[in-house]
Amino acid sequence: MFGVYPDGTNNWAGTLRAWESGLWNRNLLVFAYQMMLILVLGHVLVLSAPAEKLLSALTARAGNAAGAALLVASTTMLVSFFNWGLGLIFGALLARKVGEHARDRGIPINYPLIGACGYLGLMVWHGGISGSAPIKASEPGHIHNLLEGILPDASLAALPGSIPTSETVFGPWNLGIFLVVWLVVSGLAYWLGRTTRTGPVELPQSVSEAETESDPQQDGDRADRSPWLSRLFAALVLAAFLLQYLPQLRQLNLTPDMLNFFMFGLALLLHGNFRNFLRAVETAIGDTAGILIQFPLYFGIMGIMTESGLIHRVSDFFIAVSTQRSFPLFTFFSAGLVNLFVPSGGGQWAVQGPIILQAALELKVPLEKALMALAYGDQLTNMLQPFWALPLLGITRLKAREILPFTLLFMCAAGGIYLAGLLIW
């Protein structure tokens, strides 16, 4: 890391200069803001009245311990495949509501298992529609920007402008792998619900919406509370979305801007007025604090690795120890390991993505396969990484050590499927 840099400096001076340069990389800062919006808008959607009604309707179906585990696991994974921020909060709220439902009706359940099931979305998210690596790689010019300064100009010119999501997220192999994971893990949740020890749930009464609401007369003017203005604006946003992105939708090629624009319009529509929408944004914005600080730090690491030539050395190591067939497996395991120290799919893509892509080019591994191997490895070890479980633990009033035994079992089951998928792909 402390080698000789292109400007002739070395050691600490060169490292600090490279770190500062990466910290303020404008292309990567745009990427960070896109990822924060995905989390915020997903959370805002969960806080809408229709989402509350959906949660209540689902909760009413939890009649026993096994059915409750199956319900929370299967629903959370489906929602998270659409949006990881939405799935993160949706799963936590659904687990909490199922616990309250069981408490109020005297249904014995394994509440830590229910909490673990509410976290399962983080094990499938990166292969889904809002996955940082696939959705960013589909953006025109992103691959070139990521590898600029790493590959020579001739090699950059030969690269595709993007890797469309029709080849990653919506590729038949990825959809098939997700379906198998969804079925197997949901079945495992049901089996654990039947065979593990159950008991009564002890949860404090949740504070009602009415008790925390502020005075409507002090919460904005009449325009803020008007449902017609917000619906009109939401209709304009969604109409603009269709006009701008319909050709890309038909090709199943999504980008972060497309996803955020759609969720913005949908959130406005579901909240019914600007006041409710802004209050939900205010609640959700706190969850971006960690990302806001983390991302630039990861970009600084990226700057050091690029300027020092460390990316080339790591890439050469992968090339030396891998074959075309084994490289996706090395990528999968290395991504899982890196995620334990860089608990952000977007930050990991910024740091590890260039290494993976460069090595894949040298070994002639399809870029979409290398990208998805990174996504699978990154998402799998979230079951070991408690960082993203913090919102769920706060909502469910569980402790990390209570859900960890179950998340480890789910991780092992899904890990075998991901590895088999990469070998067969």
pLDDT in tens, 395-405: 888 998 999 99
Q: Which token pair is 402?
A: 């209570």
Helix 49-59 with 256-271: angle, nearest 10 deg: 90
The answer, yes or no, to whether residue 74 has pLDDT greater than 50, is: yes
More confident residue, 56 or 215: 56
Bigger pLDDT: 375 or 162? 375
Mean pLDDT of 257-282: 90
E strands present in 64-216: none
Specify the 3-state DSSP secondary structure of 4: strand
Q: Is the pLDDT of residue 76 over 60?
A: yes
> For 184-193, 239-248, 286-295, 354-363, which range has the lowest pLDDT when averaged over its residues?
286-295
* Residues 6+ away with beta carbon under 8 Å from 164: 138, 251, 252, 253
What confidence tier does 206 reach under pLDDT thresholds 50, 70, 90? Answer: low
Give the pLDDT band of residue 366 (cuts 50, 70, 90): very high
Q: Give the Cα separation of 172 and 310 in Å (integer).
A: 35
Q: Is the per-residue pLDDT at 106 higher than 60?
A: yes
Answer for the pair 330, 378: CB distance below 8 angstroms, yes or no: no
Q: Average the pLDDT over 239-259 and give the result.
A: 87
Contact (CB, 8 A) for 23 and 303: yes
Tokens read off for 213: 């609401």
In the block, tokens 């579901």 appear at: 270
Confidence of residue 184 (pLDDT cuts 50, 70, 90): very high
Enumerate the domain spans of the chain. Answer: 19-205+220-424
Measured CA to CA, the distance from residue 350 to residue 55 in angstroms comes to 35
Which pLDDT belongs to residue 213? 42
DSSP 127: G
Question: How would residue 205 be classed by pLDDT, with cut points 50, 70 and 90?
Answer: low
- For residues 46-60, give the mean pLDDT: 88
Q: Is the pLDDT of residue 277 over 80?
A: yes
Question: Tokens 């913005």 correspond to what residue?
Answer: 264
Query: What percentage of the chain reaches a pLDDT higher than 90?
Result: 40
What mean pLDDT do residues 211-221 have? 47
What pLDDT does 322 receive?
Answer: 86
Instruction: Say if residue 2's pLDDT is above 50.
Output: no
Q: In terms of pLDDT, which residue wins out, 379 or 320?
A: 379
The yes-or-no verdict on residue 392 having pLDDT over 70 is yes
Question: For residue 216, is pLDDT > 70?
Answer: no
In the structure, what pLDDT confidence band is assigned to residue 6 with cuts at 50, 70 and 90?
low
Phi, psi of 25 (to 5 degrees): -65, 115
Tell me: pLDDT of 47 over 50: yes
Instruction: Give the range among 87-96, 134-143, 210-219, 362-371 with minimum mean pLDDT.
Output: 210-219
Euclidean distance between CA atoms 229 and 221, whole angstroms:
12
Confidence of residue 10 (pLDDT cuts 50, 70, 90): low
In the three-class reduction of DSSP (H, G, I as helix; E, B as strand; rest coil), residue 151 is classed as strand
